[in-house]
């Protein structure tokens, strides 16, 4: 029997992206982009293929250094920090293509957490076996509660490589929740997910927002964007071309042109 899991109350989650530039050789994949993700809200990041959305995610999460500009999380400058430090400040992300450990079960995947457990220091296994066992149990209980929240209990003993792509997206979400985030960056949570499971994923994201989490979501499915987001930023060819409420940006002629392959300067 697991206890219902609740997102913890980390404060804030405001993300300020200011004049960020990231180039690959001659391509300015992210070209002077600025926008703010409001704490406890859901901001969408949309734009045609190759617009620079994932590159911006990698830049914010610290896996790709930026060339110039700044990224602030709750007023603290995080650009230039190592990814695990940014993680420590409460910013976690998922990947466009899920990356589960295919040969491990769903439960084991969710239990794989960052450094800091006593069990990782090998002498603890000899000198303080009780501590290690207690930590392992606490970790397992927490993982199972999060798995239940994500609706994955039925598959928790299955290999992560054997479940559907949509369920793998949920495993990614569960793993991120283990890290006690303030803000979560989701890269295409709806890609390749069947409609029934997609409704469930949308519902879980809405519930997490209710519990105080902040989201920045890349998504091509406009139904997902319209139903979840209170603010949308639009990129095309590396640049931010529009931002505003979902109904505003979808009516913006620059946005329509970008999606039709029109000339975005
Ligand atoms: N590691 C890399 N090396 C060189 N060029 C890259 C690299 N990563 C991305 N790019 C280029 O940067 C541009 C932006 O790519 P990015 O993956 O950020 O787009 P995206 O908006 O996420 O697209 P999609 O919607 O297809 O996922 C593209 O022109 C891409 O080819
Ligand atoms: Mg992408």
User: What separation in angstroms does the CA of 193 have from each of 4, 165, 167?
Assistant: 26, 6, 8
Q: What's the chain's average pLDDT?
A: 89
Find out whether 180 and 150 touch, Cβ atoms under 8 Å. Answer: no
Which pLDDT score is estimated for 125?
A: 58
Q: Is residue 52 within 6 Å of ligand 1 at its C-beta?
A: yes
User: 175 alpha carbon to ligand 1 midpoint, in Å?
Assistant: 25
Find out whether 28 and 235 touch, Cβ atoms under 8 Å. Answer: no
* Mutation test residue for ligand 1: of 22, 46, 48, 53, the one with most atoms within 8 Å of CB: 53
User: 54 alpha carbon to ligand 2 midpoint, in Å?
Assistant: 4
Q: Is residue 54 within 6 Å of ligand 1 at its C-beta?
A: yes
User: 145 alpha carbon to ligand 1 midpoint, in Å?
Assistant: 36
Q: Is residue 151 within 6 Å of ligand 1 at its C-beta?
A: no
Q: What is the mean pLDDT of each run of 10 residues along the chain (265 residues)?
A: 67 93 96 97 96 96 96 96 90 85 93 56 60 81 95 97 94 92 94 92 96 96 95 97 96 91 51
Residue-wise pLDDT for 114-150, tens only, equals: 444 444 555 555 666 676 777 788 889 999 999 999 9
- Rounded Cα distance, 249 and 177, in Å: 30
Report the sign of the C-alpha dihedral through residues 9, 10, 16, 17, in that order.
Answer: negative
* Mutation test residue for ligand 1: of 20, 24, 65, the one with most atoms within 8 Å of CB: 24
Q: Is residue 59 within 6 Å of ligand 1 at its C-beta?
A: no
Q: Token pair for residue 1? A: 């029997």
Residue-wise pLDDT for 177-218, tens only, equals: 998 899 999 999 999 899 999 999 999 999 999 999 999 999
């Amino acid at each position: 029997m697991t206890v219902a899991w609740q997102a913890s109350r980390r404060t804030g989650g405001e993300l300020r992206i200011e004049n960020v530039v990231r180039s690959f050789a001659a391509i300015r994949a992210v070209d002077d982009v600025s926008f703010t993700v409001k704490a406890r809200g859901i901001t969408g990041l949309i734009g045609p293929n190759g617009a620079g959305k994932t590159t911006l995610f990698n830049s914010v999460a610290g896996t790709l250094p930026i060339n110039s500009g700044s990224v602030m999380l709750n007023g603290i400058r995080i650009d230039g920090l190592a990814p695990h430090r940014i993680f420590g400040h409460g910013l976690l992300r998922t990947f466009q293509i899920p990356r589960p450990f295919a040969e491990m079960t769903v439960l084991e995947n969710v239990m794989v957490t960052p450094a800091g457990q006593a069990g990782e220091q090998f002498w603890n296994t000899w000198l303080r076996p009780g501590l290690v066992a207690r930590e392992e149990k606490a970790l397992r209980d927490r993982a199972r509660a999060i798995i239940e929240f994500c609706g994955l209990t039925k598959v928790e003993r299955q290999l992560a490589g054997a479940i559907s792509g949509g369920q793998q997206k949920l495993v990614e979400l569960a793993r991120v929740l283990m890290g006690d985030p303030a803000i979560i960056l989701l890269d295409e949570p709806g890609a390749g997910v069947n409609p029934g499971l997609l409704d469930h994923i949308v519902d879980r994201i809405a519930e997490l927002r209710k519990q105080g989490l902040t989201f920045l979501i890349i998504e091509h499915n406009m139904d997902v964007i319209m139903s979840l987001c209170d603010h949308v930023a639009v990129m095309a060819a590396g640049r931010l071309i529009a931002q505003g409420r979902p109904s505003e940006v979808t009516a913006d002629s620059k946005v329509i042109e970008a999606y039709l392959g029109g000339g975005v300067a």
